[in-house]
Chains A and B, each alone.
Chain A
Amino acid sequence: MIFLQLAILLACILIGARMSGIGLGVMGMIGLLILLFGFKMQPSDPPLEVMLIILSVVTAAAALQAAGGMDYLVNLAGKLLRSRPGQIDKSDALLKQW
């Protein structure tokens, strides 16, 4: 039984990942419906806190983007990089670590 369930879980994840974007979310719901009605499994709590944090943080980042703040940061990074062209390898690596 558990292998069948695992197969459904993996199939939904695979198909969802191939869709990309919201694919994992909608395929996850189809998998959940199968587990609920097909296997009578009790649904656990959804990952509320993570979802709401994503929603809030990304909305704040979107506000930064809409207000041009992202552009400002990119300009800042550009200035920093151009000021020491000889150090570009190091600073590039440093920025990526950020």
Chain B
Amino acid sequence: MIFLQLAILLICIFLGARMSGIGLGVMGMIGLLIFLFAFKMQPADPPLEVMLIILSVVTAAAALQAAGGMDYLVNLAGKLLRSRPGQITFLGPLVTYFFTLFAGTAHISYSIMPIIAEVAIKKRIRPERALSMSVTAAHMGITASPVSAASAALLTVLAPAGVKLADILLICIPSTIIGVIVGILFVWKRGKELDKDPEFLERMKDPVFAKNLEDSKDTTLALKDGATRSVAIFAAAVIAVVLLGSFPSLLPVFSGEGFNPGFSVNASGQVQMPSMIMMIMLGAAGLIILFCKTTAAQVTKASLFASAGQATIAVFGVVWMSSTFMNHNAEAIESTLGNLVKSYPWTFAIALFTLSILLFSQAATTKALVPLGLALGLPPAYLVGIFPSVNGHFFIPGYPTLLTAIQFDRTGTTRIGKYVLNHSFMLPGIVTTVAAVLAGLVLQYLLL
């Protein structure tokens, strides 16, 4: 019976992942309906907190985008990258990492990548090096950001076990930075130099292509009035989240008459961090609409707002379905996998990595699988340490960040190989993820 159910679960995930966008969400619901009516399985609780955090955080990012704050950040990144063109392999990934960390979404990397490609080509540095690592760094930044859905998902799973947002940041920021730097060193001299690359030399024979390469366009984006103000408001919100997450004593506490715990207040009367993140980030979106030159309509038209809806629906369906499956089969799963995970806890990192290849989402992977890790007896700190392993979505080259990097590299060095899986991002991605997980394990051992 459990195998039939597992087959249904996997088929729904496969079909949903192939649909992309809201696909995982709607196919998850179909799977859930089958579980409910055909197998009489009790539905688990839907991943409410994660969904609402995604909705709030990405709406705030969409407000930043609509107010021109993203353009301001991209200009800033461009200035930084152009000032030291020779260091592009090093600076490109790091700049992408920190901007993703700040914004909580890899979206911003789409606008930084053309700049990286341009700078690298002008300096005749193989663009594949900087671009492949920038994509990887953007994904890593998600798993270290205080305002990303993925970190919030980890927080909601581990908070009952006593893990604070500050603990996650304390481990995951340094571990992913170490991972990114190891990855950069790995790609430093990877592949042929550009002026020895046969494909590039072939393309250079076309005079139009060669001339286009040298044309320097002024890509600085025109800034809206209030663009910098929107960045300041967003930054204040991020800082507020970090402060409240680091010092729980700042969170309002309720007790006495008329007090009853609920969605946003825990049994000891303290306001829960996930609710706090929702209020602060959506409130920041409100302030941006109020004080920067943008409107509520423009925010909903921003491309990020559509991705907020997509991500929310995707997590809704796929996590609801998979946690229903896991709750129903908890005993069977624990008896088969419990011993394996107890003797070789690192195998759980491979499980996270594998699921993220299928789900294309760090937040959904975390919310779906990390509760199982807790149930199998892994210490919460260990789970924080292996958190970067949910970054497996570079494995199959279909994720939009990978495709953007390939598209913007006009030299053709960044590419998908003959066998699909031998693409530019495979080795840098694996090296970076392994390094980040190892660093995370050492750091959680020392610090938590």
On A, residues with C-beta under 8 Å from B are 15-16, 19-23, 25-27, 29-30, 32-33, 36-37, 40, 42-46, 48, 52, 55-56, 59, 63
In the complex, which residues 237-261 of chain B have their Cβ closer than 8 Å to any Cβ of chain A? Answer: 252, 254, 258-259
A sample of 26 inter-chain contacts (CB < 8 A) reads: A21-B295, A21-B299, A21-B300, A22-B296, A23-B289, A26-B283, A26-B296, A27-B286, A29-B282, A29-B286, A30-B283, A30-B286, A30-B287, A33-B283, A36-B271, A37-B252, A42-B254, A42-B258, A42-B265, A43-B264, A43-B275, A46-B52, A46-B264, A48-B48, A55-B316, A59-B25
Tell whether, in the assembled complex, residue B275 and residue A22 are in contact, meaning their CB atoms are under 8 Å apart: no
Tell whether, in the assembled complex, residue B278 and residue A29 are in contact, meaning their CB atoms are under 8 Å apart: yes
Tell whether, in the assembled complex, residue B259 and residue A42 are in contact, meaning their CB atoms are under 8 Å apart: yes
Tell whether, in the assembled complex, residue A55 and residue B313 are in contact, meaning their CB atoms are under 8 Å apart: yes
Tell whether, in the assembled complex, residue A48 and residue B283 are in contact, meaning their CB atoms are under 8 Å apart: no
Tell whether, in the assembled complex, residue B312 and residue A55 are in contact, meaning their CB atoms are under 8 Å apart: yes
Most B CB within 10 A of own CB, among A21, A37, A52, A63: A21
User: A20-B296, A33-B280, A46-B275 provided; 11 other pairs, C-beta below 8 A?
Assistant: A19-B289, A26-B286, A29-B278, A29-B282, A36-B271, A43-B275, A45-B264, A48-B263, A55-B312, A59-B22, A59-B313
Nearest residue in B to A48 (C-beta to C-beta)?
A: B48
A29 with B279, Cβ < 8 A, contacts A22-B59, A36-B271, A42-B265 known = yes
What's the Cα separation between A82 and B39 when bound, in Å?
Answer: 48
Nearest residue in B to A20 (C-beta to C-beta)?
A: B296
Interface check B262, CB cutoff 8 A: yes
What's the Cα separation between A36 and B270 when bound, in Å?
Answer: 12
What's the Cα separation between A97 and B63 when bound, in Å?
Answer: 37
Interface check B290, CB cutoff 8 A: yes
What's the Cα separation between A26 and B295 when bound, in Å?
Answer: 12
Q: Using Cβ atoms and an 8 Å threshold, which residues of chain A touch B29?
A: 56
Nearest residue in A to B278 (C-beta to C-beta)?
A: A29
Main secondary structure of the interface of B (DSSP, over half): helix
Report the minimal beta-carbon distance from B301 to chain A, rounded to whole angstroms: 9
Interface check B26, CB cutoff 8 A: yes
Q: Using Cβ atoms and an 8 Å threshold, which residues of chain A touch B286?
A: 16, 26-27, 29-30
Tell whether, in the assembled complex, residue B285 and residue A26 are in contact, meaning their CB atoms are under 8 Å apart: yes
Nearest residue in A to B275 (C-beta to C-beta)?
A: A43
Q: Using Cβ atoms and an 8 Å threshold, which residues of chain B touch A42?
A: 254, 258-259, 265
In the complex, which residues 1-55 of chain B have their Cβ closer than 8 Å to any Cβ of chain A? Answer: 22, 25-26, 29, 46, 48, 52
Tell whether, in the assembled complex, residue B290 and residue A44 are in contact, meaning their CB atoms are under 8 Å apart: no
Q: Using Cβ atoms and an 8 Å threshold, which residues of chain A touch B296?
A: 19-23, 26
Interface check B222, CB cutoff 8 A: no
What's the Cα separation between A73 and B299 when bound, in Å?
Answer: 31
Q: Using Cβ atoms and an 8 Å threshold, which residues of chain B touch A20?
A: 296-297
What's the Cα separation between A3 and B25 when bound, in Å?
Answer: 44
Q: Using Cβ atoms and an 8 Å threshold, which residues of chain B touch A56?
A: 29
Q: Using Cβ atoms and an 8 Å threshold, which residues of chain A touch B285?
A: 22, 26, 29
Tell whether, in the assembled complex, residue A19 and residue B295 are in contact, meaning their CB atoms are under 8 Å apart: yes
What's the Cα separation between A33 and B287 when bound, in Å?
Answer: 12
What's the Cα separation between A19 and B428 when bound, in Å?
Answer: 46
Q: Using Cβ atoms and an 8 Å threshold, which residues of chain A touch B25?
A: 59
Q: Using Cβ atoms and an 8 Å threshold, which residues of chain B touch A22?
A: 59, 285, 296, 299-300
Report the minimal beta-carbon distance from B297 to chain A, rounded to whole angstroms: 5
What's the Cα separation between A52 and B313 when bound, in Å?
Answer: 9
Nearest residue in A to B300 (C-beta to C-beta)?
A: A21
What's the Cα separation between A21 and B250 when bound, in Å?
Answer: 33
Tell whether, in the assembled complex, residue A15 and residue B279 are in contact, meaning their CB atoms are under 8 Å apart: no
Tell whether, in the assembled complex, residue A33 and residue B290 are in contact, meaning their CB atoms are under 8 Å apart: no
Tell whether, in the assembled complex, residue A33 and residue B279 are in contact, meaning their CB atoms are under 8 Å apart: yes
> Which residue of the partner chain, among B254, B290, B316, contacts A15 with CB atoms under 8 Å?
B290
> Which residue of the partner chain, among B46, B258, B265, B280, contacts A43 with CB atoms under 8 Å?
B265
Tell whether, in the assembled complex, residue A45 and residue B262 are in contact, meaning their CB atoms are under 8 Å apart: yes
What's the Cα separation between A60 and B413 when bound, in Å?
Answer: 42
Task: Please name the 4 residue pairs, one residue from A and one from B, whose CB atoms are nearest each other, closest first.
Answer: A26-B286, A21-B296, A29-B282, A19-B296
Q: Using Cβ atoms and an 8 Å threshold, which residues of chain B touch A32?
A: 279, 283
Q: Using Cβ atoms and an 8 Å threshold, which residues of chain A touch B252?
A: 36-37, 40
Q: Using Cβ atoms and an 8 Å threshold, which residues of chain B touch A40?
A: 252, 254
What's the Cα separation between A40 and B289 when bound, in Å?
Answer: 26
Report the minimal beta-carbon distance from A21 to chain B, rounded to whole angstroms: 4
> Which residue of the partner chain, among B262, B278, B312, contacts A44 with CB atoms under 8 Å?
B262
> Which residue of the partner chain, among B258, B263, B297, contacts A21 with CB atoms under 8 Å?
B297
Q: Using Cβ atoms and an 8 Å threshold, which residues of chain B touch A29?
A: 56, 278-279, 282-283, 285-286
